[in-house]
Amino acid sequence: MMNHDVSPPVLAEAPPAPRPARRLFWPRIGFAGTLGGSIILFWLVMALFGGHFAPHDATEMLDADVFEPINWLYPFGTDYLGRDILSRVLAGARQTVGIALAATVLAALGGLLAGLAAAVIGGWFDAILSRTLDAMISIPSKLFGLILVAAFGSSILVLIPTLAVIYLPGCYRLVRAAAVNVAKLDFVLVARARGEGSFYIMTREVLPNIVGPVLADFGLRFVYVVLLLSSLSFLGLGVQPPDADWGSLVRENIGGLPYGAPAVIMPAVAIASLTISINMLIDSLFGRNTDRKGAH
């Protein structure tokens, strides 16, 4: 039963065959999934056009008091410099959704490829890759951040890969653990015996069988990236003022907490709403009906 250091529903669910797919996809998502999906959609729209819906200029210091409570003029109150939080959250959607999503996808893809390759190719390749990434995990992200700012200066183009690099090893570990067990199964042997290349085996034979765990992990990783993003921005690597991603919004307004200022609560809520819905969507896509495996 070595296939038990696989985490989630490995052989369980996999994307339906292309032809029937279109018809079959929706019924499986269910309520939670649809809800999650629509919230994500909402934030995506905001990421693109958030600016237009913003009641105020997200960066202007209105002559309002700081940390104002919720009121008609400022639905989410004002921040530590008297700026409108609603507008800033909407504007922050672009930073957060854009960067964090991009970085997470990058990390996931990187980890996926590396993990699959390690599992399928194995041998030295696997050993070296694993050790290297083990080492990377244990080098603190702050150092990474610093060195990267120092080396390339701070810009989104540096930020995204940095985040990705920091989260790649974790993803790799998971993928590899799952893939190694799939790669041992006969149907992979069949593909090898057919003379298929490693890439085909990685993507067509193994990948579909570990999509579940990978995505489940993706959901969680996204949360971490969002949070790390803010702390890197704090280091100066990342989103530059006056713009701010949601994490940074929470951070810069933390002083409002004693006054129960919505300025600190609302961005946190925004983060939660996005991350939760992403995970809801993923769960409802791949977490469920793993029980179908019963038949033999």
Ligand X SMILES: Nc1ncnc2c1ncn2[C@@H]1O[C@H](COP(=O)(O)OP(=O)(O)OP(=O)(O)O)[C@@H](O)[C@H]1O
Question: Of 257-296, which residues contact ligand X (CB under 6 A)?
Answer: 294-295
Binding partner selected for residue 56 from ligand X, another protein, none, CB under the kind-specific 5 to 8 Å limit: none
Task: Tell whether residue 17 is a contact of ligand X (CB under 6 A).
Answer: no
- Give the nearest residue (CB) to ligand X: 295
Chain positions 165 to 224 lying near ligand X, rule: CB under 6 A, are none
Residue with tokens 């609603």: 86
Q: 193 or 295: whose CB is closer to ligand X?
A: 295
Binding of residue 52 to another protein (CB under 8 A): no
Contact characters 160-199, another protein, x per CB under 8 A:
----------x--x---x-------xxx-xx-xxxxx---
User: From CA 264, how far away is CA 54, in angstroms rounded?
Assistant: 18
Residues 282 and 219: beta-carbon distance below 8 Å: yes
Tokens at 174, concatenated: 């998971």
The stretch near another protein (CB under 8 A) out of 89-97, 102-110, 118-126, 233-241 is 233-241
For residues 258 and 294, which CB has a smaller minimum distance to ligand X in the complex?
A: 294
Confirm or reject binding of residue 122 to another protein (CB under 8 A). Answer: no
Residue 12 and residue 211 in contact, taking contact as beta carbons nearer than 8 Å: no
Q: How many CA atoms lie within 13 A of 215 on its CB side?
A: 22
- Non-local (6+) Cβ contacts of 80 within 8 A are 66, 67, 252, 253, 255, 256, 263
Asked if 73 is part of the footprint of another protein (rule: CB under 8 A), the reply reads: no
Which does residue 132 bind out of ligand X, another protein, none, counting CB within 5 to 8 angstroms by kind?
A: another protein
Q: 47 Cβ partners below 8 Å, 6+ apart?
A: 93, 94, 96, 97, 98
- The CA dihedral of 64, 67, 68, 72, to the nearest 10 degrees, is 90
Binding site for ligand X (CB under 6 A): 294-295
